[in-house]
């Protein structure tokens, strides 16, 4: 393997999914570990001690791992898989994404409000457009997202997005270039794969206004 290849492996290491068997960069996967009581739980940040079991950030892959007892096989021991594991994992991903957006806001790298977001898009200051899944489609269509679909985040509800900006609800947001933005984009991809229908909470419904 070339020096460049070794460097790429260090910067974006790969893992094998226990559900699909596919090997892929761990940035698109979720790590699971077994706690002291033999209960499986998600390690969203991928930093907890213990033998890691990796699953593609995909709802069907996670359901398969839970249904077929693949966590026990990956851990090489009997484990307890909570019925709420999928929902708990989704909630943890939401919190992590909201946190990155909140940190970007505090660093002056995020803005909300239709006019401000529109201004950032027009001046090309915005790298990423964020819109609530339950905002009105008519209102959201007035803002043109970046051509790269990865730079359009549409996996949070208005109330979840509101948490990131310290408001009750938020429909439109934008992120400037920066490390926090890159982290938010990465987390949004994982959350989109895990969430039912690719966006929005399975327990939070309704339509918000612009």
For residue range 115-134, list pLDDT tens digits in order.
999 999 999 999 999 999 99
pTM of the model: 0.88
Arithmetic mean of pLDDT, 19-32? 96
d(CA 55, CA 41): 12
Find the angle CA(16)-CA(191)-CA(23) to the nearest 5 degrees: 15
Give how many domains the chain has, as a whole number: 2
How many beta carbons lie within 10 A of that of residue 1, not counting itself?
A: 7
Point out the domain boundary residue: 59, 83, 107: 83
Residue 41 located in a structural domain: yes
d(CA 113, CA 173): 7
Q: What CATH number is associated with residue 55?
A: 3.30.1230.10
d(CA 72, CA 34): 10
Arithmetic mean of pLDDT, 174-194? 97
How many beta carbons lie within 10 A of that of residue 177, not counting itself?
A: 12
Q: Please report which helix (H) or strand (E) contains residue 54, including its range.
A: strand 53-56
For residue range 26-81, list pLDDT tens digits in order.
999 999 999 989 999 999 999 998 889 999 999 999 999 999 999 999 999 999 99
Arithmetic mean of pLDDT, 160-164? 98
Residue 203 located in a structural domain: no
Domain that holds residue 57: 3-83
- Mapped onto helix, strand or coil, the DSSP state of residue 56 is strand
Confidence of residue 208 (pLDDT cuts 50, 70, 90): very low
Q: Which of 134, 140, 143 is nearest to 208 (CA)?
A: 134
CA 29 to chain centroid, in Å, comes to 10
Q: Is there a contact between 23 and 51 (Cβ–Cβ < 8 Å)?
A: no
Residues in contact with 57: Cβ distance below 8 Å, sequence separation at least 6, in sequence order: 28, 29, 30, 189, 190, 191, 193, 194
């Amino acid at each position: 393997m070339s020096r460049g290849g070794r460097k790429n492996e260090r910067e974006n290491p790969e893992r094998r999914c226990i559900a699909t068997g596919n090997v892929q960069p761990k940035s698109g996967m979720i790590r699971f570990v077994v706690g002291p009581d033999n209960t499986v739980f998600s390690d969203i940040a991928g930093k907890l001690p213990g033998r890691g079991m990796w699953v593609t950030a995909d709802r069907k892959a996670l359901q398969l791992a839970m249904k077929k007892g693949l966590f026990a096989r990956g851990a090489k021991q009997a484990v307890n898989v909570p019925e709420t594991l999928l929902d708990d994992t989704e909630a943890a991903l939401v919190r992590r994404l909201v946190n990155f957006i909140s940190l970007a806001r505090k660093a002056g790298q995020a803005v909300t409000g239709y006019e401000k977001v529109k201004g950032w898009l027009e001046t090309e200051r915005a790298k990423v457009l964020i819109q609530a899944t339950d905002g009105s489609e008519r209102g959201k269509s007035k803002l043109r997202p970046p051509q790269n679909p990865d730079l359009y985040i549409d996996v949070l509800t208005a109330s979840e997005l509101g948490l990131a900006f310290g408001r009750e609800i938020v429909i439109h947001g934008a992120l400037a270039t920066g490390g926090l933005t890159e982290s938010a984009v990465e987390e949004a991809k994982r959350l989109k794969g895990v969430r039912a229908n690719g966006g929005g909470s399975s327990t939070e419904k309704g339509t918000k206004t612009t």
